[in-house]
Amino acid sequence: MRDFLPFPDFSDAAAPRDVSRLRAEVRAFLDEERASGAIVPGLQTWTSFDRGFSERAAARGYVAMTWPKRYGGHERSAFERYVVCEEFLAAGAPVGSHWMADRQSGPQIMRNGSEALREEVLPQIAAGKLTFGIGMSEPDSGSDLSSVRTKAEKVEGGWRIEGRKVWTTNAHHADYLIVLCRSAPKTEDRYAGLSQFVVPLDAPGVTVRPLVNLTGEHELNEVVFDGNVVPDANLLGKGGDGWKLVTEELAFERSGPDRFLSTFGLLKVLVAAQAGNPDSHAAIEIGRLVARLSSIRQLSLLIGDLLEQGRSATAIATIAKDLGTGLEQEVPEVARRLMAERPARGATDSAGALAFAILSAPCFSLRGGTREILKGIIARELGLR
């Protein structure tokens, strides 16, 4: 077995970093947002869209924290960004407007975008004014992304796009979508000939239609590209290397606090309901969840450190996501067994939080790579042949 994490850790790890001031600042900001009604505890996740919240967060320097100043960033450490992210998520803040762009699309453009594109979008993302969507899945391409059929055809000065993307979060609010296309005919190497493009959604020939999810919310969409042309500058990478870019991008989305805090709002509700004097059974169940959360968070923090040092963390990042999303799903299951309430959709009390978590839970182990895909990656990394 490959040693994913050396144990014990002989590396003389750096002294614990003091981020208490940053946490205090972020919490003060979140208190203001709660007071103004922008945060509805227990009923929001990191896909909840609120452009105003994102702009106010950006004004405080909480978006694009690690990016270079010339693109509107703040050149803070990855650990400081982590702290802000987990504080936002633990508070249940509606970060959906900037989340994808800050976590995934912006860094992707920074690494593989043209200079013109960087200058066009990065400062705007950093200001909290742009929303990005991820255009990967298609009606016939879920887990098997190499089978995408959306086509990019080279034309004078750009690329003509034709096809259909589905289950695209917040596309109806988004300014841009990063779209995975087949840009060269399929060969024996099914991962070759794919490319990613940054596509403005206000272009003629692009249509966004709602796909209402089972909670009754409109967050998912179908996006149809009917021959719209994007300029050459909007191609990411060299062209044809889209699969490599996708894989890199997914490594960044796997191990963050958004993969274990999605139902933290309900956990708070559950703990509050038992506050005074939990019986032994409730204490054990809650303790099990809290201890699990604490352990997974330590793994997530450790991965953050490794990525910041430029080291690869494919296996353990995949593990963090698989276990984290499993925990997110376990919270509503434990809560429904311990709480007296019947779940009530849309209610602003604990019954509403319970319903929201139960109804949202199925997607935790689907989005960004299903549990089965994750386990396959872990098995491969374990050396199972």
Partner 1 sequence: MSDIARMLDETAERLLSRHFATAMRGSSESAAALLAETKEAGLDLVLAPEAAGGLDAGTLEASAIAYRWGYHAAPGAIVDLMLLNGLSGVAGLETVSGSAIVLGEGIHVGPGWVRPETAHIVSAPVIGGETSRLLVCARGGEGTLVVAVLDAAGVERRKSMAGEDIVLLDLAAAEPTAIHATGRDFEAFSARAALLTSSAILGGTQRLLEIAIEHANTRKQFGKPLGKFQAIQNMLAEAASEHVVGQAATRAAIAAQDAGALRPLQWQSAKIQCGRAATTVAAAAHQILGAIGFTEEHVLHHYSKRLWGWRDDWGRQAGLEKQVGEAACAHAGGLWPWMVD
Residues found near partner 1 in the complex (CB under 8 A): 1, 4-5, 7-13, 15-16, 20, 23, 27, 86-87, 90-91, 264, 267-268, 271-272, 274-278, 280, 282-288, 290-299, 301-302, 315-316, 319-320, 322-323, 372, 374-376, 378-379, 382-385
For residue 126, what are the CA distances in angstroms to 44, 99, 107, 159, 174? 22, 11, 11, 27, 15
For the chain, the helix, strand and coil percentages under 3-state DSSP, each to the nearest 5: 45, 15, 40
State which H helix or E strand residue 28 sits in.
helix 20-35
* Complex with partner 1: residue 298 or 348, whichever CB lies closer: 298
* Distance in Å, CB of 54 to partner 1, minimum: 21
Q: Could you tell me which of 297, 282, 292 has the C-alpha nearest to residue 335?
A: 282
Rounded Cα distance, 333 and 318, in Å:
23
* Distance in Å, CB of 337 to partner 1, minimum: 14
Rounded Cα distance, 47 and 88, in Å:
12
* Complex with partner 1: residue 87 or 219, whichever CB lies closer: 87
* Distance in Å, CB of 30 to partner 1, minimum: 10
Amino acid at 347: A
* Distance in Å, CB of 372 to partner 1, minimum: 8
* Complex with partner 1: residue 202 or 279, whichever CB lies closer: 279
Q: Provide φ and ψ at 335, rounded to 5°.
A: -60, -45
Rounded Cα distance, 163 and 155, in Å:
16
Rounded Cα distance, 249 and 247, in Å:
5
* Distance in Å, CB of 309 to partner 1, minimum: 16
The position carrying tokens 């032994």 is 280
* Complex with partner 1: residue 15 or 214, whichever CB lies closer: 15
* Distance in Å, CB of 219 to partner 1, minimum: 25
* Complex with partner 1: residue 29 or 67, whichever CB lies closer: 29
* Distance in Å, CB of 382 to partner 1, minimum: 6
Radius of gyration (C-alpha) of the chain in whole angstroms? 21
* Distance in Å, CB of 58 to partner 1, minimum: 23
Q: Could you tell me which of 83, 74, 75 has the C-alpha nearest to residue 23?
A: 83
* Complex with partner 1: residue 1 or 340, whichever CB lies closer: 1
* Complex with partner 1: residue 27 or 111, whichever CB lies closer: 27
CA torsion sign for 74, 75, 77, 81 is positive
* Complex with partner 1: residue 201 or 299, whichever CB lies closer: 299
Burial class (CB in 10 A: 0-12, 13-18, 19+), 140: exposed
